[in-house]
Chain A
Amino acid sequence: MKRARLSRLEQLTILIPFAWLLAFLALPILAVIALAFHEIADSIPPVQPLVSHVNGHWAVHASLRGMQIVTTDPLYIGAFRTALVNAALTTLGCALVGFPLAYAIARAPERRRNLYVLLMILPFWTSFLMRAYAWIGLIRDSGPLNSLLLAVGLIHEPIPILYTPAAVLLVMVYSYLPFFVLPMYAVLEKLPADLLAAAADLGARPWHVFRTVTLPLSLPGLVSGAVLVFVPAVGEYVIPELVGNSDSVMIGGILWEEFFQNRDWPLAATIALGTLGLLVLPALVLRRWFTSMAAARI
C-alpha cells in the first residue's frame, strides 16, 4: 500500500495519538529537563522562575547545582552504582532462571506450549505489590524458606534474608522474569529442531550442540530479554523500599526522597535525567539489534 497521500481519516488516526503523546509525554519530559537547571526557592512551587523581570531588569536564574551535586556527592554516585549493579545482577539472575525455563517450554510438545506460556504469565496479572508482599512473609526469619533450610540441615539457625540486598535481588528476579522469558521463548521456539538433530547426528555432544548451535541462534532473544529486564530494573523503586535496607537505596529511592522529603525539585529533576541518560545506551543497543535483525531477514 504505497499511496503518496494520506486520506483525511489516516491523518486523523495518526494525529490523535501523536498530539496526546506530545502533550502528555514529550512536554512533561521537557519540563523536567528545564527544571534541572532551575534555582531552588522557598516558595510554592519551590523553584525560582528561570527568567524574572524585577524593577525593569531582566534576570536569568539558572544553575548547574543539581548537576554538580549528582556528579560529585558520594550518596548520589553510590545510588547510581547500586542501581546499575542491582539491575545487572537481576538481568543475570533472570537469564540463569529464564533461559532454562524458556528452553523447556520451547522443547515441550506443541499443544502444551501455549498452556505453559499462559501459566508463566498468569502470576503477573495479579498485583505486583501483592507478590512482593508475599515474599516478605516467605523469606522472613520465621518464614517457610528459613524453616526449609533448617529442616534440610543447610543452616543451623535462621539466616536473615529479608531486608538484605539478597532479598532485593530475589524479588526483582521474580518480578522481571517474564520480560526475559517471553522474548527468549519466541526465539527458541522458532529454532529449527532439524538443525539440532543434525548436529547431534553428526556426533556433537549435547553441550557442544548447545554452545555452537543453540546459543548463537538464540542471541537475539537473549539481548532483547536482557534489555527488557535491565532497563526497568535500573529505575526500580518499590522492591528495594519493601525488602531492602539502607544499602539497597537505588536511584528511584533518592529521587523520591529529594522530591517528597527535601522538596529539592531541581535536584530530583537532575537525578531523573541522569537515569534517562543511563538508559539511552541500552535503548540504542536494542534498536541496533532490531534493525540489523530486520535487515538480515530481508
Chain B
Amino acid sequence: MSSGRERGWQTLTLVLAFAFLYTPIAWIVVFSFIGDPADSSGTQLSLHWYRALLENEELQDAAGRSLKLALMSSPLATLLGTLAGISLARLERFPGRAALIALLAVPIFAPEVLLGFAFLMLFAAFEAATGLAAGKGMLTLVIAHATLGTPVVASIVFARVVDRDQSLEAAARDLGARPLRVLATVTLPLAAPAVLSGWLLAVTLSFDDVVTSSFLAGPENTTLPMAIFSGLRLGLDPQINAVGTILIGAVSLIIVVSFAAVRLRPRAKA
C-alpha cells in the first residue's frame, strides 16, 4: 500500500492539477462580479456586467439561437448514435459493419476545420445541382451538429451495451417478445443512462461549437460561441465573463440534477 511519502506526493499532484484546471474557471466567475466602469478603484463588487448583458440584444439573440440549435440537433444525434451504438454492440457481424465504424471515427479524427469546410461543400454542391438554397441556414447547422454528435453518443451507448449480459434480451425473445418489443422494453431501458449522458454531451458539443458553425452560418445566424469568438478577437470584454458565469452555473445545475436523478432512480439490481 502507499507509503507516507507516496501519499504526500499524491496529494501535491492532485492539488496542483486541480488548481491548474480550476484557476481559469474561478477567474471568469470572480471577474464577472468585479469592475464597474463608474467605480474608479475598479475593485468593487457589482452586477454591472450582468446589467450590460441584459441590454445586449445581439448576445441574447445568439444565445437563444445556440440553445435552439442544441435542442434541435442533439435529439437527432441521440437517435442516430443510439441506433448505431446498439447495432454495433449487439450484432457481431453484418455487412458494412467496418464501414460504419470507420464513418463514426471520422468526426473524432478529422479536424473541425475540415469538417466545417466539407459540410459547406456538400451544401454548395447540393445548391449547384438542384438550385435550391440549402446553405447558410438553421437547417444546415442542425444537420452538421447532429452528424458531429452522433459518434459521441454511439461510443457511449456502445460501451454501455456491449458489456451487458445478453440473457435478459434472450429471455424476452424466448418468452415470445417481438424484436421491437425487446428493443423498447429491454435493450433501451438498460442503455438509458448512457443515452442520457450521450444526449447531454451532444447538447454540450453543439452549444460549444464555433468552427463548424462559422462555415455554415450566415451573418443572420450567428451562434453564441461565434459571437463570443468574434468579440474575443477584438479584445477583452468583461461582459463575456458574465456569459461564462451563467453558462458555468447552468452546466453545474444540469450535472447536479442528472447525478441526483441517477441516485434517486430505484435500482432493480446493482
Contact = CB atoms under 8 A, between A and B. Distances in A.
Given A18-B100, A100-B13, A108-B14, 6 more contacts: A21-B80, A133-B228, A234-B111, A268-B117, A269-B121, A275-B113
B110 A235 contact: yes
A200 to B, nearest CB: 9
Interface string B92-118: 101010011001111111111111011
A160 interface: no
B118 A31 contact: yes
A129 B117 contact: no
Contacts of B24: 123, 130-131, 134-135, 138, 174
Contact of A134 (B1, B25, B147, B204): B25
B260 to A, nearest CB: 14
B27 A25 contact: no
Interface string A236-274: 111001100000000110011001000001001100100
B244 A13 contact: no
B45 interface: no
Contact of A238 (B96, B146, B229): B229
A17 B228 contact: no
A22 interface: yes
- 3 cross-chain pairs, A with B, having the tightest CB-CB distances, nearest first: A235-B111, A134-B24, A28-B118
A283 interface: yes
A127 B28 CA distance: 11
Given A21-B100, A107-B2, A133-B244, A276 B114 contact: yes
Interface stretch (B36-44, B46-54, B122-130, B261-269): B122-130
The number of chain B residues touching the other chain, given as a range, is 35 or more
Given A14-B100, A97-B17, A24 B119 contact: yes
A11 B86 CA distance: 12
22 contacts: A18-B96, A20-B80, A21-B100, A24-B147, A100-B13, A104-B9, A105-B14, A108-B14, A122-B252, A125-B255, A126-B25, A127-B207, A129-B225, A129-B229, A130-B240, A130-B248, A134-B28, A138-B27, A237-B111, A238-B210, A241-B233, A255-B113
A195 B20 CA distance: 32
A137 B122 contact: no
Nearest to B113: A252
B56 interface: no
Contacts of B2: 107
A137 B113 contact: no
Contacts of A235: 110-114
Given A24-B119, A101-B13, A138-B24, A10 B211 contact: no
Contacts of A259: 117, 215
Contacts, number: 229
B10 interface: yes
A128 interface: yes
Nearest to B200: A125
B180 interface: yes
B84 A272 contact: no
Nearest to A49: B128
Contacts of A234: 111
A20 B150 contact: yes
B211 A126 contact: no
A269 B53 CA distance: 39
A154 interface: no
A45 B17 contact: no
Interface in A6-39: 6-10, 13-14, 16-18, 20-22, 24-29, 31-32, 35
Interface residues of A, number: 79
Interface of A: 1-2, 6-10, 13-14, 16-18, 20-22, 24-29, 31-32, 35, 45, 97, 100-101, 103-105, 107-108, 116, 119-120, 122-123, 125-131, 133-138, 144, 174, 177, 193, 197, 206, 231-232, 234-238, 241-242, 251-252, 255-256, 259, 265, 268-269, 272, 275-276, 279, 283
A249 to B, nearest CB: 12
B251 interface: yes
A241 B238 CA distance: 20
Contacts of A97: 17, 20
Given A14-B91, A45-B128, A21 B150 contact: yes
A1 B114 contact: no
A128 B211 contact: no
Contacts of A241: 233
A87 B80 CA distance: 31
Contacts of B104: 21
